Amino acid sequence: MKKNLGILGLLIAVCIATALLSSSFLSAYNVENVLRRSALFGILSIGVGFVIITGGIDLSLGSVVCLVGCGLPWLLTVQHWPLPLSLVAVAAVSLGIGLCHGLLITKLRIQPFIVTLCGLLLYRGIARGFTADQTVGFGNEFKPLRLLATGKIPFLPGFDLPAPLLIVAVVAILAAIFLNRTIFGRYLLALGRNPQAATYSGIPTQRMTILAYVLSSGLAGLGGVLFVLDVNSAQPVDFGNFYELYAIAAAVLGGCSLRGGEGSVVGILIGAALMQVLRNMITLVTTRNNVEFAIIGAVILLGVVADELTRRIAARRRAAQVLQNAAA
């Protein structure tokens, strides 16, 4: 809770600073755009958050977004598959990728970093292969489907809520219930805190690890569908580039410890919103958009440093408490 309040305070401070520096920040168009991007990246961040909670990492998210984002319009407009079958196909591919990752990590004992790094290269390469490096899109077709990403929900006069905000709200509620109100969520947290103790306690650690990666890739697939519906076309060379960094940074900012065992869905969503507000601030306030990745790197580094310092302070307090109780 304290971490969530801290990151929320930082988000509010950045919003106020950006509003003071740029009059365009609070315009209805800009706020809607920031909310839409925050919702889309929030879906990715929730997915990778499950993996980070278990003590793992998923570097393949951006390439999964690319594979699904290029695959859906390719199936619909080039291969002329029916819409239901195309959606089932991209969902199956996304979940299958997560399953493969989980099996490689648990059964072959390959490090998550290596498995997902290979996936990062492999899935983008596959997308570039079947599209022949050509842009794919929906053109003027499938407009009702595109409303999932481009639609608006009337809220106030002159201001509408973007449809992805409703989707991420549903995903977040389900994720929060899963993490905080089910035995499987407690298993994931226990696995991240101490894998060996979790195994000795009878927790099916391998199944939980596989589940985390399936959820991560599944939500990346959902994100890929919404991203391509939002922009209407995808170029496999750069579609989804570095999206995994935004997702990981949002999860770390939101309180997910890279050591595992900590994290909350609310914090992850606030972290995703903060990342998008920072990007928006760079666009509106400065003329140097190329510093964006430097800021992301600094954010991740600060998050890791803060996590380490917090861990050390907590360890010292526990040690002091033990000594005090022993003396008494």
Q: What is the pLDDT of residues 83-141, one digit of tens each?
A: 999 999 999 999 999 999 999 999 999 999 999 999 999 999 999 999 999 999 998 98
- Assess if residue 102 is contained within a domain: yes
- Assess if residue 303 is contained within a domain: no
Whether 305 shows a pLDDT value over 90: the answer reads no
- Assess if residue 139 is contained within a domain: yes
Q: What is the pTM of this model?
A: 0.92
- Assess if residue 328 is contained within a domain: no
Q: What is the dihedral of CA 150, 151, 153, 155, to 10 degrees?
A: 40
Confidence of residue 328 (pLDDT cuts 50, 70, 90): low
- Assess if residue 324 is contained within a domain: no
How much is the mean pLDDT over the chain? 91
Number of domains in the chain: 1
Residue 35 confidence (pLDDT): 96
Residue 60 confidence (pLDDT): 96
The tens digit of pLDDT for each residue in 32-70 reads 999 999 999 999 999 999 999 999 999 999 999 999 999
Alpha helices (runs of H) in 54-152, residue ranges in sequence order: 61-73, 83-107, 112-131, 143-150
Confidence of residue 1 (pLDDT cuts 50, 70, 90): low
Domain assignment of residue 185, given as a range:
2-292
How many C-beta atoms lie closer than 10 Å to residue 55's C-beta? 20
The tens digit of pLDDT for each residue in 216-273 reads 999 999 999 999 999 999 999 999 998 998 999 899 888 888 888 989 999 999 999 9
- Assess if residue 298 is contained within a domain: no
- Assess if residue 264 is contained within a domain: yes
Which class for 309: exposed (0-12), middle (13-18), buried (19 or more C-beta within 10 A)? exposed
- Assess if residue 204 is contained within a domain: yes
Q: Which residue in 34, 13, 17 sits closest to 279, CA to CA? A: 34
Task: Report the CATH number that the domain containing residue 115 is assigned in CATH.
Answer: 1.10.3470
